[in-house]
Structure 1
């Protein structure tokens, strides 16, 4: 029985108790009993062997077996031996108490630990490893392995191949390694690391730390307050219940915070982020992101890139950051900042007038109103203001502003003049303001998209597509001129579009002030 000392590494597990002695049997029926205090690695080879360890970290191994083996340390035979070993070199072996570590063969092995702290190493092949009770270390090695930690604080290492890792009860460490792995945390506060490949990592009921690393991964937080870091790749992330911290990192990620107050960062890439329930803190990061805060009072920052930010019906804070951003306000008294770039605020998606409240906004260049009666004011920049549906009050506040009317406006609806109109409060020809009607087909009965025909102060002549202006009674302020704009699109001689225009004009409102 040759004996030596060596550093033993279970294919990624690391050194097991440092220096080992080795005992190797023959192809006959050997009996190997370990009595000295050193840790041993025992391999019986062929034959029906009797192998007895000391219960202080000894290892029984079948690395040289020509076939797959099955070793079950929980089995209790009639003769009192506590291990079942079958297949290959293990056929006929009786493994007594004292071996807490098992090394399999290069084939498809089944290795089962007992209630002690066990190390199981599958080596090559598609292996099944079950730790049982105790704080176990399971290493799949090469091949598509299945690792089940059981109870205790376990360490599961998938190695190379498409592996399945299940944590069970306890605070466990799961590491997939290379290729496409599937990991589930179970109970306890677990750490899941995907490694290379396209992995699925499912958190359990505890507060889990989940890292996708490389690959296009699917991360699910589950219950508890989890930390999810997707790493590189185009990942899908769901926080689940609890207030989670989520980082999409590189790639085009799809993130859903789920329930709880979540802190979400999209990272680099063009990401899709949904805050879910409750008030979330969301940062899009670099890239052109689409962010929907969902329910709750959310704080959303788009970051760099041309982002789309969507608020809910509660009081949200929406900040576009750098880039040309599109911000949707669905109701509530929101705080909105477009940031750098040419930014759009869209209020047209609000459906319940009870949800509409005054928004506080800065650095917005393009406004789209709601279906209700809005009051919209621009800033000193060159704004584009579209009141949307309803009878709106529009104020440019300096700059060369464009007041836009299109087919979405209900003030263009084949109706009588007394039905109401939009009002522009501070039109200035000198500053370059314009009324844009180019989005309206002036004659719906003709083929193509027809422009309006400007007829000045003349009356309608029952010809479709006519646009007229006239000066009306005194404006709201004595120093402003008051003009009316009317359009007839069906040729019935009745105005279908009405806009009141108050402002300053060198020689009155004229065709120069319109984009038709």
Structure 2
């Protein structure tokens, strides 16, 4: 296209684009691709490349990489696959390979597209778009300086590094070291709260809820019917809790319906909410909060 229409290139290592939206592709050697102004797509291929987007909203493309890539826009560096040795300058967006990639953004608005494979996407600060693609993909907020609230059901985030984020085809969430609110969808999700007092709601699906450090809560507040949720015997779970497993979870929150919530040997807080609930604290110094309705409380 443009002035490049019909050109034949041989023995060329570097390319400088125009003031428009360019697509520049390198070779197996060490290339320098400069997009100039415009919204450019830079594909260095193999080799230790320098990808300089220049002005505009520019993308580094690793879609065809023969192996997984690790790319950080914050550090401007890449490793693995065709990203090995790459330097990225003025790049806002990254498209990963068909393998298990790790893509991380910076403080501006990034678009991270994992493609196929089980990808880890960390948008960092900024209102980011995290697109997992095929595979089992994870949005990571481990480095957020403030707690995050992220829902896979709505595909939206707020607070900390999640503020303004949009998520699509993401199955798992990793929270920050602060107090987070992580919510899944009807798929089988892994929600890992990290440090802090976290609130985890798996929604439908057989979910893995990992509280981490702090005093963490598994919630069924939005369940579509009553649940049986047991910290000491999750195989007895029913409703939206069916198939759920717990790790480092201290507290349970029930639905608007008739629930049976059971603790374990730790000091649990069981909150029934509306409905005629049965709360079983089991061992430990428990707090049982029946809420409205005719509730049965058994401290154990």
The TM-score normalised by the length of structure 1 is: 0.39
**Correspondence for 1:74:** 6
Larger Rg: 1
> Quick one: distance in 2 between partners of 1:199 and 1:295?
31
CA contact (8 A) 2:73 2:91 kept: no
Alignment pair present for 1:385 and 2:280: no
The alpha carbon displacement at 1:245 in A equals 4.6
The alpha carbon displacement at 1:171 in A equals 2.2
Aligned residue among 103, 112, 116 for 1:223 = 116
In structure 2, relative to structure 1, the CA distance for the partners of 1:299 and 1:362 (3 Å cut) is: farther
CA contact (8 A) 1:165 1:174 kept: no
**Correspondence for 2:252:** 345
Q: Deviations over 1:346-386 (max 9, x none)?
A: 1124x6x7xx6765545454322265543212354262421
Matches within 5 A, 1:52-71: none
The alpha carbon displacement at 1:284 in A equals 2.1
**Correspondence for 2:93:** 200
**Correspondence for 1:332:** 241
Aligned residue among 8, 14, 33 for 1:119 = 14
The TM-score normalised by the length of structure 2 is: 0.61
> Quick one: distance in 2 between partners of 1:392 and 1:177?
53
CA contact (8 A) 2:62 2:82 kept: no
CA contact (8 A) 2:150 2:182 kept: no
Matches within 5 A, 1:490-505: none
The alpha carbon displacement at 1:165 in A equals 3.5
> Quick one: distance in 2 between partners of 1:143 and 1:275?
28
RMSD between aligned residues: 5.0
Alignment pair present for 1:248 and 2:141: yes
**Correspondence for 1:396:** 299
- Name which structure has the greater RCO, CA cutoff 8 Å, separation 6+: 2
In structure 2, relative to structure 1, the CA distance for the partners of 1:303 and 1:171 (3 Å cut) is: closer
In structure 2, relative to structure 1, the CA distance for the partners of 1:370 and 1:196 (3 Å cut) is: farther
> Quick one: distance in 2 between partners of 1:275 and 1:131?
28
Aligned residues: 262
Long gaps (5+) in structure 2:
75-80, 224-239
**Correspondence for 1:100:** 11
Matches within 5 A, 1:43-442: 72=4, 74-75=6-7, 99-101=10-12, 118-122=13-17, 126=19, 129-131=22-24, 135=28, 137-140=31-34, 143-144=37-38, 146-147=40-41, 149=43, 153=46, 155=49, 157-165=51-59, 167=61, 170-171=64-65, 191=83, 199-203=92-96, 207-231=100-124, 235-251=128-144, 269=160, 282-329=173-220, 330=223, 331-333=240-242, 334-336=244-246, 344-349=251-256, 359=262, 361-363=264-266, 365-369=268-272, 373-378=276-281, 379-381=283-285, 383-389=287-293, 391-397=294-300
**Correspondence for 1:482:** none
Long gaps (5+) in structure 1:
1-69, 76-81, 83-96, 102-117, 179-188, 259-265, 398-516
CA contact (8 A) 2:216 2:251 kept: yes
